[in-house]
Amino acid sequence: MKKVITYGTFDLLHKGHIRLLKRAKALGDHLTVCVSTDEFNAIKGKKAYTSFEDRKYILEAIRYVDEVIPEKGWDQKISDVVDNNIDLFVMGDDWQGKFDFLKDYCEVVYLPRTEGISTTKIKHDLGMQVDAD
Protein backbone atom coordinates (compact mmCIF):
# COMPACT_ATOMS: atom_id res chain seq x y z
CA MET A 1 0.00 0.00 0.00
CA LYS A 2 1.35 3.44 -0.98
CA LYS A 3 0.74 6.08 1.71
CA VAL A 4 0.52 9.81 0.95
CA ILE A 5 0.56 12.78 3.34
CA THR A 6 -0.22 16.47 2.90
CA TYR A 7 -0.37 19.45 5.25
CA GLY A 8 -2.39 22.62 5.58
CA THR A 9 -4.79 24.74 7.54
CA PHE A 10 -7.75 23.88 5.27
CA ASP A 11 -9.74 26.90 6.43
CA LEU A 12 -12.81 27.99 4.43
CA LEU A 13 -12.76 24.80 2.40
CA HIS A 14 -12.98 25.44 -1.35
CA LYS A 15 -12.56 23.81 -4.76
CA GLY A 16 -8.78 24.20 -4.67
CA HIS A 17 -8.58 22.21 -1.44
CA ILE A 18 -10.75 19.42 -2.85
CA ARG A 19 -8.71 19.27 -6.08
CA LEU A 20 -5.47 19.04 -4.06
CA LEU A 21 -6.89 16.23 -1.90
CA LYS A 22 -8.26 14.35 -4.92
CA ARG A 23 -4.94 14.57 -6.80
CA ALA A 24 -2.94 13.62 -3.69
CA LYS A 25 -5.15 10.57 -3.09
CA ALA A 26 -4.78 9.53 -6.76
CA LEU A 27 -1.02 9.21 -6.17
CA GLY A 28 -1.45 6.45 -3.58
CA ASP A 29 -3.79 4.15 -1.69
CA HIS A 30 -4.09 6.01 1.61
CA LEU A 31 -4.16 9.78 2.23
CA THR A 32 -3.28 11.29 5.58
CA VAL A 33 -4.03 14.99 6.01
CA CYS A 34 -2.12 16.83 8.69
CA VAL A 35 -4.14 19.92 9.62
CA SER A 36 -2.74 22.87 11.57
CA THR A 37 -4.07 23.21 15.09
CA ASP A 38 -5.35 26.57 16.31
CA GLU A 39 -2.32 26.82 18.60
CA PHE A 40 0.11 26.18 15.72
CA ASN A 41 -1.70 28.73 13.56
CA ALA A 42 -1.18 31.28 16.35
CA ILE A 43 2.56 30.52 16.33
CA LYS A 44 2.52 31.11 12.54
CA GLY A 45 0.68 34.41 13.04
CA LYS A 46 -2.49 33.05 11.42
CA LYS A 47 -6.04 32.72 12.63
CA ALA A 48 -8.40 30.29 10.97
CA TYR A 49 -12.06 31.26 10.66
CA THR A 50 -13.05 27.67 11.51
CA SER A 51 -11.77 25.86 14.62
CA PHE A 52 -9.33 22.94 14.37
CA GLU A 53 -12.02 20.49 15.51
CA ASP A 54 -14.44 21.71 12.83
CA ARG A 55 -11.77 21.64 10.09
CA LYS A 56 -10.80 18.11 11.15
CA TYR A 57 -14.47 17.03 11.14
CA ILE A 58 -15.00 18.43 7.62
CA LEU A 59 -11.81 16.82 6.27
CA GLU A 60 -12.75 13.43 7.72
CA ALA A 61 -16.00 13.57 5.71
CA ILE A 62 -14.21 13.97 2.37
CA ARG A 63 -14.02 10.71 0.45
CA TYR A 64 -10.39 11.21 -0.61
CA VAL A 65 -9.18 11.53 3.01
CA ASP A 66 -8.42 8.37 4.98
CA GLU A 67 -6.98 9.91 8.14
CA VAL A 68 -6.61 13.36 9.71
CA ILE A 69 -3.90 14.13 12.26
CA PRO A 70 -2.98 17.41 13.99
CA GLU A 71 -0.04 19.56 12.95
CA LYS A 72 1.32 21.07 16.15
CA GLY A 73 4.68 22.44 14.96
CA TRP A 74 7.10 22.97 12.09
CA ASP A 75 9.43 20.15 13.11
CA GLN A 76 7.04 17.19 13.14
CA LYS A 77 7.09 16.38 9.41
CA ILE A 78 9.99 13.92 9.53
CA SER A 79 8.49 12.04 12.48
CA ASP A 80 5.05 12.04 10.80
CA VAL A 81 6.56 10.51 7.65
CA VAL A 82 8.54 7.90 9.58
CA ASP A 83 5.89 7.05 12.20
CA ASN A 84 3.10 6.72 9.60
CA ASN A 85 5.17 4.81 7.01
CA ILE A 86 4.59 7.53 4.40
CA ASP A 87 5.82 6.95 0.86
CA LEU A 88 4.89 10.31 -0.68
CA PHE A 89 4.70 13.87 0.67
CA VAL A 90 2.46 16.23 -1.37
CA MET A 91 2.14 20.03 -1.18
CA GLY A 92 1.02 22.85 -3.43
CA ASP A 93 3.67 24.20 -5.78
CA ASP A 94 3.76 27.56 -4.00
CA TRP A 95 5.91 25.63 -1.49
CA GLN A 96 8.27 24.36 -4.23
CA GLY A 97 11.60 23.27 -2.73
CA LYS A 98 10.68 24.07 0.89
CA PHE A 99 10.21 20.43 1.86
CA ASP A 100 12.95 18.81 -0.20
CA PHE A 101 14.66 17.80 3.08
CA LEU A 102 12.00 15.07 3.28
CA LYS A 103 13.44 13.38 0.17
CA ASP A 104 15.71 11.44 2.56
CA TYR A 105 12.56 9.80 3.96
CA CYS A 106 10.01 9.68 1.12
CA GLU A 107 9.20 10.98 -2.34
CA VAL A 108 8.22 14.69 -2.47
CA VAL A 109 5.76 16.08 -5.04
CA TYR A 110 4.56 19.67 -5.49
CA LEU A 111 1.20 19.94 -7.25
CA PRO A 112 0.01 23.02 -9.15
CA ARG A 113 -2.50 25.16 -7.25
CA THR A 114 -5.98 25.77 -8.62
CA GLU A 115 -6.00 29.11 -10.43
CA GLY A 116 -8.24 31.89 -9.17
CA ILE A 117 -9.11 30.51 -5.73
CA SER A 118 -7.46 30.55 -2.31
CA THR A 119 -8.47 31.04 1.29
CA THR A 120 -6.64 34.38 1.24
CA LYS A 121 -8.71 35.50 -1.78
CA ILE A 122 -11.96 34.41 -0.11
CA LYS A 123 -11.07 36.29 3.09
CA HIS A 124 -10.12 39.36 1.07
CA ASP A 125 -13.37 39.22 -0.96
CA LEU A 126 -15.38 38.94 2.27
CA GLY A 127 -13.53 41.88 3.82
CA MET A 128 -11.94 39.68 6.48
CA GLN A 129 -8.48 40.26 7.91
CA VAL A 130 -5.93 38.47 5.75
CA ASP A 131 -3.03 36.78 7.54
CA ALA A 132 0.52 37.68 6.61
CA ASP A 133 2.58 34.77 5.30
For residue range 83-115, what is the model confidence (pLDDT) as tens digits? 999 999 999 998 999 999 999 999 999 999 877
Q: State yes or no: pLDDT of 122 exceeds 60.
A: no
- Cβ partners under 8 Å of residue 1, min gap 6: 28, 29, 30
- Mean model confidence pLDDT for the chain: 90
Neighbours of 35 (CB within 10 A): 24
The angle subtended at Cα 24 by Cα 98 and Cα 57, nearest 5°, is 100
* Active-site residue list: 44, 46
pLDDT digits (tens, 9 = 90+) for 56-93: 999 999 999 999 999 999 999 999 999 999 999 999 99
64 φψ region: left (φ > 0), alpha (ψ -120 to 50), beta (else): alpha
Residue pair 35/110 in contact by the 8 Å Cβ criterion: no
